[in-house]
Structure 1
Amino acid sequence: MLQDHRRRAAVAFVLLFILYQGAEGVGARLLDNFAVQAAFMLAMVAVAWPVGRWLGFRGYDAYALEWQRSTPVLLSGGLALALLVKYVAVCVGMAVNVYAASAPAVPSVAAVSFLSSIPWALVATFVPSIAEDILTRGFLYRALRVQWVPWIFAVASSVLYVLNHIYRLGAGPAEWIMLFCFGLAYATAVVRTGSLWLAVGLHWGWNLANVLIGDILPYQVMSPVWSSLLSAGAHLVMLGLLFALPTQFDREGLHPDPA
């Protein structure tokens, strides 16, 4: 039975991985077509539901995405924390010359640009964020049916998160360190709460801030290496803050019953 589940899990992961990577590999790089890129990403999230059923779960429960009373708090709390940390990181970067402030737009123009960007940015950053969280965190945490030691899960998930960025690995060690620290923060959110939703909120908030912050605090990157390391440090700060949360592992064990 366990061997059959592992075979199914391997097939399921490969399918989701291909769909996720197809968004950039086919949609962005091969065809340079945003519609195709979006179609791949939406297909990955949509297919994850029947895949979860096939693996013996109730759809997205396979990735610790049960909708519970705490879900809105976890999602919105992660979103708000990441937006705040990103803003502070940019301010720190400007202070130490990692970033340079760009000429601000006319306030009325900047306000219109910011407000008009929000609706599409919310969707455009949420879908890729939850897709990658399903693939690199939720799948490992729940669908594999492995009883993880928390720190081993965090490291394994972080390594997978780095390797999942196959088109960015050529950027060098600073990029790898940044991605690994991102993965540590988001994986820690999973093991502290027993849910993927807080990780989704943090990931979504960071990606959303990358889109919107240019309207609030326009800047140019002066040092790509130090910019990556600054982002890594910001996520280590987020990781530290997560330890203020009560952990589900202490109360109920790492894996709540998915049935």
Structure 2
Amino acid sequence: MHLTSNGAIPRPTAARLLLVAVVLFFFYQLPHGVGNDNLILMVPLVAWWGSRMLGFHGLRAWYLDARQGWLRLLGLGVVLSCAAKALALVIGSGADVYTVAWTGGPPLAALAGPLALTVFGTFVASISEDILTRGLVLRAFPRLDGRWLFIVVSSALYVLNHIYRLQKGPSEWIMLFCMGLAYAAALYRSGTLWAAVGLHWGWNLANGLADLFGQVDVANATAAPYWTAGAHLVMLAVTLLVMRPNSLPAAAVPSRAPGA
């Protein structure tokens, strides 16, 4: 790794950060713009390129290194989100917010393919957005590291990143902001983006599994966004309670100075 003469971590130039941010944003929005969800598979590759551009190995620029405990945090996030989604559906169906019918899914012999696609697809979509709206934000604004203001800034950008859903109005914005609060708090609290990926992936995975094994319909379109917002505020509280504060690992230091 390259350090400056006084031992400080070399910071990527503003020009490189801006270039990487623009390219990441373009490739993230591309699937929505052209109507081809498969193009989301390009985002992790672009993120790897962007990490290298900023002077890091792999995806470490986005706080996605294999630090001690990362797998536990990933799993914890998935379990927490899946439990929150299940609880929201159970209570929401009783409150006439959702109608839920469990069909049992496809025959066992035909289950492997759809299940694998659901697991993989939701993971790629989740980690792609986490890199753009959380990892990139913290890398671009290092002064937010360790400050609660990061959670607010990241959540606001998370809302704006959903440009194709902004026309749905304030209830959608509130829902997205609350979702962003929970996911950004996981990175803020743990020091690794894997914790945020776990929460985000768990929620998306639970949605995918609900569609695979049943039929979930919104019975009250006015209340549904606030129901999701409330579930994520509960997840936010639990995240702040169970995820221990942790400084960023030494492995997150750039491997070379950008431009070297």
TM-score range relative to shorter protein: 0.7 to 0.9
> Cα offset for 1:100?
2.1
Which residue does the alignment assign to 1:227?
Answer: 224
How does 1:66-145 map onto structure 2 within 5 Å? Answer: 66-102=65-101, 104-105=102-103, 107=104, 109=106, 116-145=113-142
CA distance in 1, matches of 2:110, 2:133: 33
Number of residue-to-residue matches in the alignment: 244
Does the 8 A contact of 1:94 with 1:101 survive in 2? yes
Partner of residue 22, structure 1: 30
The 1-side partners of 2:81 and 2:105 are apart by 26
Structure 1 residues 174 and 108, CA gap change in structure 2 (3 angstroms)? closer
Report the more deviating stretch, 16-25 or 69-78.
69-78
Between 181-190 and 206-215, the greater mean CA deviation after superposition? 206-215
1:10 maps to which of 9, 18, 33: 18
Measured in 1, the distance between the counterparts of 2:126 and 2:210 equals: 18
Alignment correspondent of 1:174: 171
CA contact (8 A) 1:62 1:143 kept: no
| Per-residue CA distance 1:81-123 (angstroms, 9 max, x = gap) | 1111101001111111111234x43x58576776653211011
Q: Counterpart in 1 of 2:190?
A: 193
> Which stretch has the larger CA shift, 202-211 or 54-63?
54-63
1:114-150 per-position Cα deviation (integer Å, ceiling 9, x unaligned): 6653211011111110000000001112354334352
Distance in 2 of aligned mates of 1:157 and 1:56? 23
TM-score under structure 1 normalisation?
Answer: 0.86
Question: How has the CA–CA distance of structure 1 residues 110 and 169 changed in structure 2, closer, same or farther, with 3 Å as cutoff?
Answer: farther
State how far apart, in whole Å, the 1-side matches of 2:145 and 2:46 are: 25
Does the CA-based 8 Å contact 2:62-2:136 persist in structure 1?
yes
Superposition map of 1:24-43 within 5 A: 24-26=32-34, 28=35, 34=36, 37-39=37-39, 41-43=40-42
Cα offset, 1:211, TM superposition: 1.2
Residues 143, 114 of structure 1: alpha-carbon distance in 2 compared, 3 angstrom cutoff: farther
Tell me the SS of whatever aligns to 2:163.
Answer: coil
Return closer, same or farther for 1:108/1:226 CA change in 2, 3 Å cut-off: closer
Inter-partner Cα distance in structure 1 for 2:226 and 2:110: 29
| TM-score w.r.t. length of structure 2 | 0.86
Q: Structure 2 vs 1, CA of residues 70 and 159 (structure 1 numbering), >3 Å: closer, same or farther?
A: same
Displacement of 1:63 after TM fit? 0.4
**Offset, 1:46:** 0.4
Identity %: 41
- Aligned-residue offset at 1:220: 1.8
Partners of 2:215 and 2:111 lie apart in 1 by 11
Q: Which residue of 2 aligns with 1:211?
A: 208
Residues 39-58 of structure 1: per-residue CA shift (max 9 Å, x gap): 3x222210111211211222
Question: Does structure 2 retain, via aligned residues, the 8 Å contact 1:52–1:60?
Answer: yes
Report which structure shows greater RCO (CA 8 Å, sep ≥6). 2
Q: CA RMSD in A?
A: 2.3
Q: State the distance in 2 between where 1:228 and 1:72 align.
A: 30
Tell me which amino acid in the other structure corresponds to 2:16. R
Task: Work out whether residues 134 and 154 of structure 2, in 8 Å CA contact, stay in contact via their aligned partners in 1.
Answer: yes
SS of residue matched to 2:65: coil
